[in-house]
Amino acid sequence: MAISKVWIEDGCTGCGLCETTCPDVFEVGDTAIVKKGADFTANESEIIEAAEGCPVEVIKYK
């Protein structure tokens, strides 16, 4: 599966798990953001791991 889009829905708590799991794609301040220009293909397994590990289940991808 090729990931073409990653986003974060409302409700992020800023726990930092996604940035720890996949720092090339996610950056956390008060809440998490998806970095502009991030290479989703190169980080596919880490994106999936971050989404599955998100405690509030707000990381989405397709």
- What CATH topology corresponds to 6-61? Alpha-Beta Plaits (3.30.70)
The answer to whether the CB of 18 falls within 8 A of the CB of 32 is yes
Rounded CA gap, 33 and 49, in Å? 16
Domain boundaries, the chain: 6-61
pTM of the model: 0.94
- The model's pLDDT over 23-51, given as tens digits with 9 standing for 90+, comes to 999 999 989 999 999 999 999 999 999 99
